[in-house]
Amino acid sequence: MATPLLSTKDFVSKYELMAKKALGQNFLLDGNITDKIVRTSLQAQGLQSLANEFAAEVGPGPGGLTQAVLKQNPQSMTAIEMDERCLAILGEIKQAYPQLEIVNGDALKFDWARLFQQSGAFHIFSNLPYNISVVLLTGWLKQIQNFKSLTLMFQKEVGDRILAKSDSKDYGRISVISQLQCEVIKLFDLPPTCFVPAPKIWSSVLLFRPRADILSADILEKVESLTALAFGQRRKMIRQSLKSVPNIQDILDNLGISSTLRAENLTPSDYLHIAKSLA
């Protein structure tokens, strides 16, 4: 039985912890909300708990989401925190949950493959630092075979871009790559008032579940190159934006894709088929 812990709000008060804008910190102090994030993620995955599962978290801060994950009884959990001010709080949480491993470091430099080698595929939970959220997600999508799920919070406008369908203004590179590698589900939105300090924007909690047919590294690299070209000149027809791609007109003709379409008119599957057609 876990030792009762202070609430996240009380931990913040005890250690006089103030969020740092430079670290992209917006603390989520309401335990009902952090519990809801974990609960709705597990429900969407058809899981009763995290028993016999491995988990990781980026930017736990004062540990609200950390406690919510640990209450679901993972076999182990790795929390990666850059801010040394938060380590004492995480240390108190570890006293109640010995399966918590605390890493004081930069998530952008963390060796995720090493964690996979130790535990097998695992779940990530994170109220992502807004200033590095897309960079982290892009890196994880490139090694999605290491993960069972990603439960991540983004600025709502970023979440909208990830979920966007073709023929919409929000649709772009991150939409294509996310949707080719994962089934992406919006769990719910959160207003600014849920955070301390309150940001100026709403947030979205998304669940990423790796697809059975994830892309090989070679094909993913080609998709990234194609989308960089196409969305880099998104107002141009693809016969112009992709003109540097060898034999692109023949490839488009063979696939039945009109060369007068623009970047946002091609579906993720269209980009995948073009990538597979490249020599």
Retrieve residue 84's tokens. 């040394």
Distance (Å, rounded) from C-alpha 192 to C-alpha 146?
A: 32
Distance (Å, rounded) from C-alpha 65 to C-alpha 57?
A: 8
**All CATH 3.40.50.150 domain ranges in the chain, comma separated:** 8-210
Dihedrals phi, psi of 32, to nearest 5 degrees: -65, -35
pTM of the model: 0.94
Q: The domain 8-210 belongs to what CATH superfamily?
A: Vaccinia Virus protein VP39 (3.40.50.150)
Q: Are strands 195-196 and 27-28 parallel, antiparallel or unpaired?
A: antiparallel
CA atoms within 13 A on the CB side of 192: 5
- Give 117's contacts (C-beta < 8 A, 6+ positions apart): none
pLDDT, tens digit only, all 279 positions of the chain: 445 788 888 887 787 777 677 666 778 889 999 999 999 999 999 999 999 999 999 999 999 999 999 999 999 999 999 999 999 999 999 999 999 999 999 999 999 989 999 899 999 999 988 888 999 999 999 999 999 999 999 999 999 999 999 999 999 999 999 999 999 999 999 999 998 888 889 999 999 999 999 999 999 999 999 999 999 999 999 999 999 999 999 999 999 999 999 999 999 999 999 999 996
Give the residue among 58, 63, 123, 126 at the shortest CA–CA distance from 97.
63
Four-way CATH pick for 217-277: 1.10.1510.10, 2.40.50.140, 1.10.8.100, 3.40.50.300: 1.10.8.100
**All CATH 1.10.8.100 domain ranges in the chain, comma separated:** 217-277
Give the residue among 4, 25, 48 at the shortest CA–CA distance from 131.
25
